Structure formats: C-alpha cells, structure tokens
C-alpha cells in the first residue's frame, strides 16, 4: 500500500510559538490531503481539506488563521499551528488520497504538547 | 449532519473469543462505510469497507455487513488473536473514501493470551 509520513512525530513547544508539521506521501502523488485532530480517548475530527495549488477548506469552528495549511506540491502538505497555546496540545493526523487504490492513507500522527 | 456512534470500550477478550464491535450511523444519501484499525504507534489502516447496502466487507478474518435498514455496520471476528489488540474506528464518507471521513470515537480492544 501507499505510505504517508509525518514529521515530527512529536514536538514540545512554549506557549506563543509556532509549530510546523509536515505530511508527505512517499510513493504516490496526492492532490488532496486531510488534516485531523484527535483528542485523548476521542475520535478524529476533520480540521481541513488541503488541495494542491489552492487554498485549504476548513471545517466549521476551525480557525484558519491559527491553523495554516499549505499544500505546495503533490507530495507535501504542511500544517502550521501559529501562536500555540496549551489548548492546542493534541495529536494531529494527516491523510492522503491515493488515486489508484481510491483510498485514504494515514500518517502516523504528530503529538504536539504546548507548555 | 453525518455521525457515527460506536460501541464504547475498552473491550478485553481472551484469545479465540468471538468479537463484536457495534457501529451505527446517521447520514443523508448512501454513504460508504469503513472500519479502520490503529495499532500501537502506527497510523490508521483501512481494515475493510462496504460501499452499498448488503455489501459485506472482510479482511484478516474480520467481517462487517452494511445494513441500511438498521443503519449499522457491526464489526465481527470469530476467533480473535493477541495481535488483534488495537483501536478500531468505524467511519463513513459520502463516496468511496475520496471525501472527508466522519469517525466514531474508537474502541480499544485488548486480547489476553
């Protein structure tokens, strides 16, 4: 199957700083990627849909100025958490659509801890 | 809006026991239904899917049947193994997984030898 990677796998930062998380499709091109957020013992909540070469589509309630998404190439999407605060601490997961398999493939996730 | 209600865990079973994890959904139209599995330290992996009513998805001994009349997609396995220990997520999408997924809360399964 197709492989999606995320970097970093975990990050700790101070309140007020910005953090960038990368999502890469390693062996396929992905015109569409998704970003999810997972709270402890809760489900994955879709944050936004990232489309290569265009602006991301954010779900209701997600602050687009706080969670900046850039899909600069067919293999890379980035999520930047700007001016992070402790309530932004969470597990962030990306997925990418692989056209041949007609399926979403998920990255391993990035755990963000804001102190 | 669309929603998925999943059996709450955690679930602990002995090896070779029968497994059922319940999943019901609310959606407009005719969604596709999925079960994803998340092993410790890994990303979500598609376990099985069904795209229309009465379809049965199956993989690795797991099965689930798309029941439109009861809006359900329960996951079953006849004889679980220790290696099946993971978190299982039921999910739906408007079409064939190419659109956004709506997930249930996940069920943590632990199999005891």
| A17-28 residue pLDDT tens | 999 999 999 989
Residue A113: pLDDT band with limits 50, 70, 90: very high
Average pLDDT over residues A87-105: 86
Helix (H, G, I), strand (E, B) or coil at B99: coil
Determine whether the interchain pair A104/B101 forms a contact, defined as Cβ–Cβ distance below 8 Å. yes
The nearest CA of chain A is from the CA of B81 a distance in Å of 23
pLDDT at residue B97, rounded to an integer: 55
Average pLDDT over residues A98-114: 86
Sign of CA dihedral B80, B81, B83, B86: positive
Average pLDDT over residues A28-45: 87
Determine whether the interchain pair B97/A95 forms a contact, defined as Cβ–Cβ distance below 8 Å. no
Q: Which residue has the higher pLDDT, A31 or B13?
A: B13
Q: Which residues of chain B have pLDDT under 50?
A: none
The nearest CA of chain B is from the CA of A15 a distance in Å of 26
Q: Which chain B residues are closer than 8 Å to A109 by Cβ?
A: 43
Determine whether the interchain pair A93/B103 forms a contact, defined as Cβ–Cβ distance below 8 Å. no
B29 burial via Cβ count (<10 Å: 0-12, 13-18, 19+):
exposed
Determine whether the interchain pair A4/B43 forms a contact, defined as Cβ–Cβ distance below 8 Å. yes
Residue of A nearest to B97 (CA): A103
pLDDT at residue A53, rounded to an integer: 83
Q: Which of B43, B57, B94 to mutate to test the interface with A (most CBs of A within 10 A)?
A: B43
Determine whether the interchain pair B46/A43 forms a contact, defined as Cβ–Cβ distance below 8 Å. no
Residue A31: pLDDT band with limits 50, 70, 90: confident
Convert the pLDDT of each residue in A43-94 to its tens digit: 889 999 998 888 899 999 999 999 999 988 899 999 999 999 999 999 999 9
pLDDT at residue B98, rounded to an integer: 58
pLDDT at residue B29, rounded to an integer: 81
The DSSP letter of residue A59 is P
pLDDT at residue B96, rounded to an integer: 57
DSSP letter for each residue of B20-77: EE-EEEE-SS--EEEEEEE-TTS-EEEEEEE-STT-EEEETTEEEE-BTTTTB--EEE
The nearest CA of chain B is from the CA of A11 a distance in Å of 15
How many Å apart are CA B103 and CA B91, to the nearest integer? 4
Q: Which chain A residues are closer than 8 Å to B104 by Cβ?
A: 43
């Amino acid at each position: 199957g197709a492989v999606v990677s995320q970097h970093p796998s975990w990050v700790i930062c101070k309140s007020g700083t910005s953090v960038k998380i990368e999502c890469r499709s390693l062996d396929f091109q992905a015109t569409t990627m998704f970003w999810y957020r997972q709270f402890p013992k809760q489900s994955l909540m879709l944050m936004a849909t990232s489309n290569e070469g265009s602006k991301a589509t954010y779900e209701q309630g997600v602050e687009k100025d706080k969670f900046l998404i850039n899909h600069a190439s067919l293999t890379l999407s980035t999520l930047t958490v700007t001016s992070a605060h402790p309530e932004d601490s969470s597990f962030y997961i990306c997925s990418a659509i692989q056209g041949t398999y007609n399926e979403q493939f998920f990255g391993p996730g990035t755990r963000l801890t804001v102190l | 809006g669309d929603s998925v209600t999943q059996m709450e865990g955690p679930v602990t079973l002995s090896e070779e026991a029968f497994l059922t994890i319940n999943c019901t959904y609310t959606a407009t139209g005719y969604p596709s239904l999925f079960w994803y599995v998340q092993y410790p330290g890994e990303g979500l992996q598609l376990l099985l899917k069904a795209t229309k009513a009465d379809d049965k998805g199956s993989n690795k001994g797991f099965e689930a049947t798309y029941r439109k009349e009861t809006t359900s997609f329960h996951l079953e396995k006849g004889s679980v193994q220790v290696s099946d220990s993971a978190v299982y997520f039921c999910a739906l999408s408007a079409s064939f997984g190419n659109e956004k997924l709506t997930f249930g809360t996940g069920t943590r399964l632990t199999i005891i030898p």
